[in-house]
Amino acid sequence: MTRLSAAWQALEEHYHSTAHLHLRDQFAADSQRFDKMHETLHGLLFDYSKNRITDDTLPLLCELAEAAGLPEKMAAMQHGGILNPSEKRAVLHTALRLPEHAAAVQADGENIVPKVHQELTRALRFAEDIINGSHTGCTGKPITDFVHIGIGGSYLGPLVCIQSLTPWRNHLRVHFVSNADDAGIAQTLARLNPETTLFCIASKSFGTPETLLNARAARAWYQQAGLPEQEIHRHFCAISSNVDAAQNFGITPEHIFAMFDWVGGRYSVWSAIGLPVMVAVGAQNFRELLRGAHAMDEHFFHTDFRRNIPVLMGLLHIWYNNFHHADGHTVVPYSHNMRRFPAWLNQLDMESCGKSRTEYGAEVTRKTGGIVFGEEGVDCQHAYFQLLHQGTRLIPCDFIVPVNTPYRIGSQHCFTVANALAQAEALMKGKTLDEARAELAHLPETEREALAPHKTFPGNRPSNSFLLDELTPFTLGMLMAAYEHKIFVQGTIWGINPFDQWGVEYGKILAKTIEPELSADTPPQHDSSTNGLIAYYRAHLKKQ
């Protein structure tokens, strides 16, 4: 038996011998449980004590990580090894947040650190020129509105950062257009003045049709406004690794910012893709975001697995996904400003780990990936939390809670924090039938006995709690980097490549066939369902 299969087997046996344990009893039996099962790092507390683990679980999970080669993969990530073999690429998003004078990191035979900082400085300078009004529109007026056009990883990271850092925002309005549905671009343009609007076309490939459709609509809108064509370059910039395509679109090289080949789209907010963040919160705050992410990288690369926050996060995910057969994972920021964090994580995790082939192309033998979803708290308590508490499925939860907020309106934040802590406690403890009966002591017996079962909660439902002293650029950077590394840990243990995304290609190719068929007269040649849908569309489309 290999070391790896022995590690899986040991965990399987451990699962069977501990599956009967209830978290409520484990807390009752060990008053030190929280002390033993939490970590702190630069204003972040990670409490993992409400997980279905004993003192023996983590050593076994750490052995699994070792046996799966996590230490070697971590070293390869740091040193530019090819961690994305299907695309023959290094995976170096961590290099984007290295300090300027960090030791050399080699990719494609050169030290990339100076290049990273050169491009970062260019983007930050451009952002500052927009903020201070020295970059003007074609009529000399300062830019008031920055429209970021991009999708997936070229959209969600910047969006989450900008929303989360609302208290740090300046006077500039930043808009996002991602979807191909024309409602998004139409509604955005309707609010704008072309003289004071700057569009940013963000696409690593510069070939994503949704982004190009919106970019063309934006260009046409500028042109239809009757503003000088030779000045259009003042209103468009681009972020891409395909500089030629961006130039062919008409963007001046001075306003094209490089994305590096060794950074995947969903890991790219730290690159020039972060330009809208730089514009919205300024250079200094963006550097703080990078500093926070780098602090998490340092922790991840240099901390023993047993005390390593992203490693623990990833291992716990494996524990539930592969041994407890959890049905999903929910992440709940108790922060309105972090409301799109779950959407960012949804792409990051599911596009990274939704694989059924190993990195070498063989079929995987264990369940990979996981359904990751979420919503801001407390809203979600009034939506899907019923299922978490009393449903038949196991869905571990991450609670993310800022301790301080800058708003201080009455006791609203205190109420919000109390709810986060209460939900985690309720999920963990549950409520027994006797407790439910006791609560209903005022009712006649028959009524009490009928109602009490509905008021029981199984409990033993696991969660992690992340408390941030404050949601700042630094702590946000740390948290986002922690989730990135968590996913890398999971992918490594499953033996998959978390850095490619071949699965999103097939539908895109079929769409290219279907698009002209929607307005053709000839019968489409698909399955009967697709043919029927096309026929219905053709019959019901209003002629313009």
Q: Which chain residues interact with ligand F6P by CB under 6 A?
A: 151-154, 203-205, 208, 211, 265-266, 351, 501, 504
Q: For residue 382, indicate whether it is catalytic.
A: yes
Q: For residue 351, indicate whether it is catalytic.
A: yes
Backbone angles phi, psi at 8, to 5 degrees: -60, -45
Helices (H), 273-411: 275-302, 309-318, 341-353, 385-390
The pair of structure tokens assigned to 88 is 């023959």
Could you tell me whether strands 397-404 and 329-333 are parallel, antiparallel, or unpaired per DSSP bridges? parallel
What CA–CA distances, in Å, run from 35 to 43, 50, 58?
17, 12, 15
| Residue closer to ligand F6P (CB basis): 265 or 274 | 265
| Residue closer to ligand F6P (CB basis): 46 or 206 | 206
| Residue closer to ligand F6P (CB basis): 210 or 288 | 210
| Residue closer to ligand F6P (CB basis): 337 or 501 | 501
Q: Whole-number minimum distance, CB 174 to ligand F6P, in Å?
A: 18
Contact 360, 446 (CB under 8 A): no
Q: Whole-number minimum distance, CB 143 to ligand F6P, in Å?
A: 23
Q: Whole-number minimum distance, CB 212 to ligand F6P, in Å?
A: 9
Q: Whole-number minimum distance, CB 204 to ligand F6P, in Å?
A: 4
What distance in Å separates the CA atoms of residue 355 and residue 495, rounded to the nearest whole number? 10
Q: Could you give the maximum distance between any two Cα atoms of the chain, in Å?
A: 84
What distance in Å separates the CA atoms of residue 182 and residue 180, rounded to the nearest whole number? 6
Q: Whole-number minimum distance, CB 532 to ligand F6P, in Å?
A: 28
| Residue closer to ligand F6P (CB basis): 271 or 423 | 271
The three-class DSSP label of residue 465 is strand
Q: Whole-number minimum distance, CB 505 to ligand F6P, in Å?
A: 8
DSSP code at position 102: P
Contact 146, 175 (CB under 8 A): yes
What distance in Å separates the CA atoms of residue 305 and residue 316, rounded to the nearest whole number? 12
| Residue closer to ligand F6P (CB basis): 160 or 428 | 160
| Residue closer to ligand F6P (CB basis): 135 or 204 | 204
What distance in Å separates the CA atoms of residue 158 and residue 279, rounded to the nearest whole number? 11
Q: Whole-number minimum distance, CB 265 to ligand F6P, in Å?
A: 3
The three-class DSSP label of residue 487 is helix
Q: For residue 101, indicate whether it is catalytic.
A: no
User: Residues 12, 72, 508, 515: which is the catalytic one?
Assistant: 508
User: Residues 325, 382, 425, 515: which is the catalytic one?
Assistant: 382
The upper half-sphere exposure of residue 337, i.e. CA atoms within 13 Å in the direction of its Cβ, equals 21
What distance in Å separates the CA atoms of residue 271 and residue 97, rounded to the nearest whole number? 9
What distance in Å separates the CA atoms of residue 459 and residue 371, rounded to the nearest whole number? 21
The residue type found at 251 is I
Nearest by Cα to 44 from 413, 313, 273: 313
User: Residues 119, 351, 359, 376: which is the catalytic one?
Assistant: 351
Q: Whole-number minimum distance, CB 210 to ligand F6P, in Å?
A: 8
| Residue closer to ligand F6P (CB basis): 351 or 376 | 351
CB count within 10 Å of CB 87 equals 15
What distance in Å separates the CA atoms of residue 312 and residue 70, rounded to the nearest whole number? 13
Q: Which residue has the tokens 């290094």?
A: 90
Active-site residues, by number, are 351, 382, 508
